[in-house]
Chain A
Amino acid sequence: MTDDTDDIKGTPALDPVISDSVELRLARQIRELDREMMPERDLWTAIERNIADYPQRKPFNLQGDWMPYGVAASLIIAIAALLVNVVGLEQRNSTLLAADYAIDSIDSGYVNVRNPMVDQFRETNKNLDQATLDDLYRNIEIMAQARKDIEMQVRANPENTKLVEMLMRVHERELELLKQDYSQPGRSL
């Protein structure tokens, strides 16, 4: 046997004849063993105590148990989605709509004051030289554009009170510019 074993160790790919011979001999030795073997000491008491101390948990039954959790989870997700995406957006949208409405009202009121002043400005300053008039009109346009830019920002950021204050100041300055009689320097209308 020793010789055979040495042969097996030294052979990378076992010869089928030798391999069969080893297996047969192992099988014979197993059959010759006693059918029952007693443990050297009684282990059963310890096994019973361990079973009592650590009872086995009921295994999770994926097929039968996921449904209630899934329904609850989907409800939570749905409510959260409703709160975040529907209620939140509605609040944001209603704020933006309110801001739009407010800005439209402010703008409309302002334009009602401004436009007659533009006509008055045109009439009052018609005798100014063309270069000065062009310069004034260019600056009136700059003010109007600034007003529109700020209005746009206020619509997008209605919570920003500083922007609203700035818009008011630009209104004030535009009117200040328009009410001047530049043909009579130092005298405002």
Chain B
Amino acid sequence: MNMLEIDDLHVTVDGKEILKGITLSIPAGEVHAIMGPNGSGKSTLSYTLAGRDGYEVTGGHMYYNGEDLGALLPEQRAAKGVFLALQYPVEIPGVATLTFLKTALNAQRRARGETELDALRTLKLVRQKATALNINEDMLRRPLNAGFSGGEKKRLEILQMALFEPKLAILDETDSGLDIDALKLVAEGVNALRAPSRAMLVITHYQRLLSYIVPDRVHVLAKGRIVKSGGADLALELEESGYERVVEVA
């Protein structure tokens, strides 16, 4: 059984159809990349998988481990192991980062019927995962994402991924706004989480990220449809010839 099975998915936002029949399967252990030009529906796909309000599924299905994702609330999807790293992580002044991490971690544990972690154990766990991502105590004490640099925000997304240990991770343009050093650090963090039991969907505009996170499959999304699929080489091909050509040929 595939970890994620998307079948002829149609999605409408504000009355406009953005996804027009997407079919895609990702088995556990694989990393798939979705590439596409601006406006192709990449972010719509990620928000729909995570369950954001306003992204209406008007046709088709999304199955996660055989379960209909569309029937679950965003928080239920998270507790079951679906994680979305956002392109633009939200700033929330007034909520300390560590408090947020503890609240989210325990909410997921509670939903799964696991015991909650106390403050000390949470802190230990967070510290242990944070070091590898070069996230210090000071950052954890600051309000969530408030005043964080682009790189800090993305590292914090990856820290959450490491902390929550999802089964399906969706990374939405995690490379945007990162310089090469930050990109490498984030990619290392992601690669460390590759595992036979975990599937990943990496959404990106540029090939650059895929030099560091090498995918098993690459899919090209254009105008709400997957127009081409291939191996890791397809990303390089796109980089050389550009989206326009690939989309035309398809």
Asked if A and B bind, the verdict is no
